[in-house]
Amino acid sequence: MGLDQRAGVDDELRANLGAFVARNFGAEAKMENVEPMLGGHAGLTFGFDVLGGQTAAGPNDNTGYIIKLAPKGVRREGNTDVYRTAPLLNVLYEADLPVPHVPFASPDEEEFEVPYVVMEKLKGREFFIWEPHASFDLADDKVAPLWRQVAEVLPRIHQVDWQLKLPNWEK
């Protein structure tokens, strides 16, 4: 199986993503490296690169993106309400918190037959303390800064006035 035909990426997804890239980045943009995201609790989450093109904000300076799709045929609530994460991520991003920017998202089912969120790919990987990836050095002096980062970011998250920024979040 070649790089263009990775397991978990079907022809329908590839075609829908190709149309999405052309529509949002222009016909000259090139999509590459479509692959399932395997870490964490990814579900229907795929990474892809976009080379070149323009967005509504100007030239595409980013190359890596992640698309998270809602499962087909499942009621949109709780963790299956993929679109609901987009406004939250954007509010946290605007507060300069370490979350990805979400340049594209839709609750509609026209483009991918389900709601979706497209976010910029961040460098790094998730750190699950109960099952850390083999790439992590688990020495105390290496893990301590990771916990410190969490401790420093957590109060900043709580400073975000979500009731003001997301007035209908609980409805």
- Judge whether residue 5 has pLDDT over 60: no
Q: What is the mean pLDDT of the chain?
A: 87
How far is the C-alpha of 49 from the C-alpha of 63, rounded, in Å?
5
69 contacts 112 by C-beta, under 8 angstroms: yes
Instruction: Say what the pLDDT of residue 56 is.
Output: 74
**Higher-pLDDT residue of 75, 6:** 75
* Residue 153 structure tokens: 């970011």
Predicted TM-score (pTM) above 0.75: yes
What contacts 102, CB < 8 A, 6 or more positions away? 85, 86, 89, 90, 93, 117, 118, 119, 120
- Judge whether residue 63 has pLDDT over 60: yes
For residue 27, how many other CB atoms are within 10 A of its CB? 8
pLDDT band (50, 70, 90) for residue 7? low
133-151 average pLDDT score: 91
Instruction: Say what the pLDDT of residue 55 is.
Output: 77
pLDDT band (50, 70, 90) for residue 79? confident
DSSP state of 99: S
For domain 11-124, the question of CATH label 3.30.200.20 is answered with: yes
For residue 97, how many other CB atoms are within 10 A of its CB? 14
Share of the chain above pLDDT 90, in %: 56
Instruction: Say what the pLDDT of residue 119 is.
Output: 95
pLDDT, tens digit (0-9, with 9 covering 90-100), for 19-62: 999 999 999 999 999 998 876 565 689 999 999 887 777 777 77
- Judge whether residue 1 has pLDDT over 50: no
The 10 Å CB-count burial string (b at 16+, else e) for 135-160 is eeeeeeeeeeeeeeeeeeeeeeeeeb
Instruction: Say what the pLDDT of residue 41 is.
Output: 60
